[in-house]
Amino acid sequence: MKSSILFLTTAILAYVNTAQAYFYVPSFMNSLPFKGGMAYAQKNDSLYLFGGENATVRYTNDLYKLTQTATSYNWEIVPQINAPNGTLYSQSYVTADGQNLVLMGGMSNATYGRGLPLQIHTYNFASQTWTEFSGNNANVSSPPPAEFIYNREYFSATYDSKNQLTYILGGAVSAANQVFSDFHVLDANFKSTALVSPPYGRYGHSASILSDGKLVVIGGVTTNGSPALASLQSAWVYDPATKGWVEQNLSTTASRYPSTASDHTAVVTSDDKIIIFGGDSADGQRTRQYLNTIAVLDCKTWSWSIPSIGGIPPSRRSFAVGGLLDGGKHLTVAFGSSSNSYYNDINAFDLTASSWLQSFDESSSNGDGSVSKGLIAGVTVAAVVLLVIILFLLWKFQSYIRWLVVRIHNDIWKPRTGEPVWAETSRIVAQVFFLFIFAMFLYFVIRQAVDSPNVTQRIEYAAAEVDVPDVRFCYDGYPSQSATYGPPGVSCQTDNGYSCTEHIKQLNMSVFQPTFSDNLGAVNCFLFRAPDDFKMTSTSGKNNGSRLLFTMFGDQTTTYGRVHVSVFAKEMDPNAKIYGYDDGMSNYLSEADVLNWQTSERNDLQATNVYTIQPFTYSALSYDIVDHRYLQPVGWNYVGFLPVTNSTPEIESNFRSEAPNPTYTSGHIDLGVLAVFPENFATLVDREVKMYTLVNALGFVGGIFGLLIAAQAWLFGYRPRSPWGVVHRWSTGSRKQSLLQGLQQKFKTTDSGIPLVHPVHHRFSVNEFQNLGQETEAQRVSRVEERMQILELLFKAYYVDDEVFRSLDNAAAVGDQNKNHHQQQQQFGVATPGTQASANPFFASTEKLSPYQQKEDQNGFSHMFSERQSRGSISSDANSQVNLHSAQDVHLRDMR
């Protein structure tokens, strides 16, 4: 037998599930009561709930209606006339005609410890009136007749709507520590008939009626020997046709059976499946455990199944209410209790998707987790079509693709003249390795910036005056009116004698009343809320002063009473919104914030900036109002400068209270004094910043990039960088033409060719070392040519990027094309630049001539010099300075 049902402490704390796993209905979530042990019955798409207990009242007699709609739930308080006494752990059902709600049994103040008949009350929906059954106060004979039913708790009352019969099974009387094993049936007029009793007593169970009229009893505590949880490997089944009991063995489709439980919730589907939720282990309160699992019993195959649950499950609990309110698509579970906690949530379980929902919109998006064959076929066809499109694009644009491949190859593979293949290969491998390291480091710093935690910086500016907070005083246990001391109240003045009582207003407790777990008595609250221009000043003079002095008044004979003081920043005071303050001051709280605060107030869960003052004491409270600038969840804040913040005023307070003065009432008519003053005369800003940002990452990235470049240069030498960038290199159209025209206009080209693009000559093998002492002019010119050629090659390979020179060559080719190229060819007999032959008649580009053409050009150039030397056209003076342009001029005159 449960020890917790014998004694129930009055100091019970309740709470709401802060994780918001419940079905979100903001319109009335703050109105739902925290209750457990309610009687409930389903009528169409609604559940009617009666009685139950909460944190402060053990027996309540409220009647509520919870209705499921297509998109949400509706909640309302049902009017009732001649309401019965508050009851706990009773049972109810709606009659077959849908006109009445029947309430049976349960514990109440009127029945506790008394051997009364089963208490029955009927509520008529049309008249909204309760009617008490005439047999409720019938005399109990000793011994009672077989058809007599004692009033009880933890029993089952199962209604057979087809035959209008009610089956009463088992239960207990906690006051008498008694468990029942009797079994009765009541007709429509509540006339009782004793039926064959089950083998032993049971309580905390569920009894569900199937479509064929059979009664299935599951779970609970049995008294077969010592009390123990009933095994879920079998169930009791009562067959009205045979009027006998059968212990039905149950199998399982899973590897295990559901956990045994008492006080669970059970509902029956249209296809004879019983769904159970929650329950507890029926141990004493110190060691009792609770469940929030779901299991399904198929009564056609008598097998259990435990579905794989998705979504956020509700809190573990017992005595919850449940029903299938939309034809079997969703299981609704609400309210209930666990130990000293009571719940006011609504939870919806999607039976199709096997998932707990927070809104019905999730149902349309949830599936069974399997992939249909149509989806597989569609994905396959789409993949084939995509492959065909890719192959067609590759065939259609193959020339562009080849050009791109060649361009990438030319940009990557750049061996220097005279450098072996292994050196260039090693350089590219190292470059790829360094690039991989750089990419990994870049990913690391970006990931570090994205996952960066927020840190708060405190910034303090000196100020001569500061704002005052809102202060709420809630009198707990003091009478609303006293003949000697009058009603409770608060007066206010500052330390320089300025009266601020006009800023104190009494709050309307009918709009909203905070709950305090001590439950000392009446609660009356007052709020001090000064205008924005009311400041506290650090200097003396013509000002409001430096501190507030509140004097509290009330019935001095109520020594057990307390005053609960709360402080708020003006812009974050929920009282101003709840009680309809229209003072023009800003309030940053949203409706959800206010509802959450009210929920905490109803459960006495406020722990910050809330203090309790005993009567006849002096107390001091210091405060700081801080402008907390929170980072908003926007992408820009990852950058690292000009962050987007949300400025939220917050208050920090410290409190000290002296011991009560036993002689205080001899010289005072008040209850005590509270001094409120600023901790610091300063403007405080708590600025939230990212510990790592992308701007910080740039420094790390630049450092590692420089190190890798230095390592590359140290290993493989320095390579010249192009003076052109992406803008020049990838420009197109008129912009590209303007670049080429600029080169052509600023760098006039002659017949000598383009340096580092057109070689001076191709005679690299001619070295007349034997004639160094008798060097002719031709030999000196040849040696100058060779030296210049080597210089250009080395200069081009190791010091200068020739990209601009090649661009100048292209610009010259474009300029020459604007002239009459054919006429020039006929006049000089040479090819124009940019054609297959060299743009220069003497110095063809090695990048455009085939090896054969290069050899022919070299031979022709040598023959030219030999011929001119034999004709004596070139001076043999050793001191004459002959350059490349002189040789070109000689050749040009000969051709003319």
Domain of 482, in residue numbers: 459-626+654-687
In-domain check, residue 643 = no
Q: In the chain, how many domains are there?
A: 5
Q: Cα dist. 762→33, 452, 657, 807 in Å?
A: 100, 63, 103, 22
Residue 141, amino acid: S
Domain boundary among 244, 269, 294: 269
In-domain check, residue 349 = no
885 class by beta-carbon count within 10 Å (0-12 exposed, 13-18 middle, 19+ buried): exposed
* C-beta separation of 776 from 869 below 8 A: yes
pLDDT reported for residue 775: 64
9 pLDDT band, cuts 50/70/90, is very low
Residues 532 and 384 in one domain: no
Please state, in angstroms and rounded to a whole number, the distance separating the CA atoms of residues 34 and 690: 41
Most confident of 327-331, 496-500, 551-555, 887-891: 551-555
Residue 56 CB coordination number (10 Å)? 16
pLDDT reported for residue 387: 93
DSSP notation for 424-487 = HHHHHHHHHHHHHHHHHHHHHHHHHHHTPPEEEEEEEEE-SEEE--EEEEEEES--S--TTT-S
Comparing 367 with 537, which gets the higher pLDDT?
A: 537
Residues 425 and 545 in one domain: no
Domain boundary among 254, 269, 284: 269
pLDDT reported for residue 224: 85
Query: Has residue 656 got a pLDDT over 80?
Result: yes
Residues 505 and 583 in one domain: yes
Q: Where are the beta strands (DSSP E) in 125-229?
A: 129-132, 156-160, 165-169, 172-173, 178-179, 183-186, 192-194, 202-203, 206-209, 215-218, 221-222, 228-229
* C-beta separation of 124 from 97 below 8 A: no
pLDDT reported for residue 11: 34
Share of the chain above pLDDT 70, in %: 84
Residues 447 and 464 in one domain: no
Q: What is the mean pLDDT of residues 770-777?
A: 60
Residues 682 and 784 in one domain: no
Its sign, for the CA torsion 591, 597, 598, 600, is positive
Least Cα distance to 555 among 669, 673, 660 occurs for 669
Query: Has residue 376 got a pLDDT over 90?
Result: no
Task: Give tens-digit pLDDT for 247-289.
Answer: 999 999 878 899 999 999 999 999 999 999 999 999 988 889 9
Please state, in angstroms and rounded to a whole number, the distance separating the CA atoms of residues 288 and 282: 6
Query: Has residue 379 got a pLDDT over 60?
Result: yes
Q: What is the mean pLDDT of residues 310-325?
A: 94
Least Cα distance to 610 among 496, 786, 476, 739 occurs for 476
pTM beyond 0.85: the answer is: no
Residue 221 CB coordination number (10 Å)? 25
Backbone angles phi, psi at 659, to 5 degrees: -70, 150
In-domain check, residue 198 = yes
Please state, in angstroms and rounded to a whole number, the distance separating the CA atoms of residues 761 and 845: 10
Q: Cα dist. 333→68, 319, 324 in Å?
A: 12, 10, 9
Residues 447 and 463 in one domain: no
pLDDT reported for residue 822: 52
Please state, in angstroms and rounded to a whole number, the distance separating the CA atoms of residues 514 and 522: 11
Residue 230, amino acid: A
137-144 long-range contacts, CB within 8 A, separation 24+: 140/115, 140/116
The residues, ordered by sequence, that sit 6+ positions from 266 with a Cβ below 8 Å of its Cβ are 206, 208, 218, 274, 275, 276, 277, 322
Residue 488 CB coordination number (10 Å)? 27
In-domain check, residue 763 = yes
Query: Has residue 128 got a pLDDT over 60?
Result: yes
Task: Give tens-digit pLDDT for 828-864.
Answer: 454 444 444 344 433 444 444 444 344 444 444 444 4
341 pLDDT band, cuts 50/70/90, is confident
Q: What is the mean pLDDT of residues 813-835?
A: 55
- Mean of all residue pLDDT scores within the chain: 84
pLDDT reported for residue 741: 84
Residues 745 and 712 in one domain: no
pLDDT reported for residue 261: 95
pLDDT reported for residue 819: 61
431 class by beta-carbon count within 10 Å (0-12 exposed, 13-18 middle, 19+ buried): middle
Cα dihedral value 143, 147, 149, 155, nearest 10: 130
pLDDT reported for residue 761: 54
Q: Picking from 280-294, 565-579, 731-745, which range would have the lowest pLDDT averaged per residue?
A: 731-745
823 pLDDT band, cuts 50/70/90, is low
Task: Give tens-digit pLDDT for 484-533.
Answer: 899 999 999 999 889 999 999 999 999 999 999 888 989 999 999 999 99
Task: Give tens-digit pLDDT for 83-97.
Answer: 999 999 999 999 999
**CATH code at position 211:** 2.120.10.80
Residues 839 and 883 in one domain: yes
In-domain check, residue 581 = yes
Please state, in angstroms and rounded to a whole number, the distance separating the CA atoms of residues 839 and 835: 7
891 pLDDT band, cuts 50/70/90, is very low
Peptide bond into 143 cis (omega under 30): yes
Least Cα distance to 679 among 504, 535, 491, 538 occurs for 538
Q: What angle do CA 363, 367, 372 make, to 5 degrees?
A: 150
Residues 463 and 406 in one domain: no
DSSP notation for 301-366 = TTEEE-PPPBS-PPPP-BS-EEEE-SSSSEEEEE--EETTEEB--EEEEETTTTEEESSTHHHHH-
In-domain check, residue 760 = yes
3-class secondary-structure state, position 490: strand
Please state, in angstroms and rounded to a whole number, the distance separating the CA atoms of residues 698 and 704: 10
Please state, in angstroms and rounded to a whole number, the distance separating the CA atoms of residues 82 and 130: 5
Least Cα distance to 612 among 647, 561, 576, 651 occurs for 561
Query: How many angstroms from the chain centroid is the CA of residue 353?
Result: 22
77 pLDDT band, cuts 50/70/90, is very high
Backbone angles phi, psi at 487, to 5 degrees: -75, 165
Please state, in angstroms and rounded to a whole number, the distance separating the CA atoms of residues 128 and 124: 5
Residue 715 CB coordination number (10 Å)? 12
304 beta partners: 252, 297
pLDDT reported for residue 355: 93
What is residue 53's DSSP assignment?
A: B
Most confident of 171-175, 331-335, 795-799: 331-335
pLDDT reported for residue 802: 82
Domain boundary among 241, 269, 297: 269
Residue 536 CB coordination number (10 Å)? 23
Residues 56 and 175 in one domain: yes
pLDDT reported for residue 841: 39
Query: How many angstroms from the chain centroid is the CA of residue 434?
Result: 38
pLDDT reported for residue 307: 92
Q: What is the mean pLDDT of residues 237-249?
A: 95
For residue 210, give the H/E element and its range.
none
In-domain check, residue 313 = no
The residues, ordered by sequence, that sit 6+ positions from 769 with a Cβ below 8 Å of its Cβ are none
Task: Give tens-digit pLDDT for 20-54.
Answer: 457 777 777 778 899 999 999 999 999 999 999 98
pLDDT reported for residue 757: 73
In-domain check, residue 303 = no
Task: Give tens-digit pLDDT for 660-682.
Answer: 999 998 888 999 999 999 999 99
Q: What is the mean pLDDT of residues 856-875?
A: 41
Residue 184, amino acid: H
641 class by beta-carbon count within 10 Å (0-12 exposed, 13-18 middle, 19+ buried): exposed
Residues 129 and 173 in one domain: yes
Residues 698 and 670 in one domain: no
Please state, in angstroms and rounded to a whole number, the distance separating the CA atoms of residues 845 and 755: 10
Q: Picking from 234-238, 297-301, 374-378, 500-504, which range would have the lowest pLDDT averaged per residue?
A: 374-378
Most confident of 22-36, 102-116, 183-197: 183-197
Six-digit token string for 105:
């049994």
* C-beta separation of 470 from 623 below 8 A: no
791 class by beta-carbon count within 10 Å (0-12 exposed, 13-18 middle, 19+ buried): exposed
Residue 826 CB coordination number (10 Å)? 9
Comparing 549 with 775, which gets the higher pLDDT?
A: 549
Task: Give tens-digit pLDDT for 556-574.
Answer: 999 899 999 999 999 999 9
Unique residue bearing structure tokens 């820009």 = 636
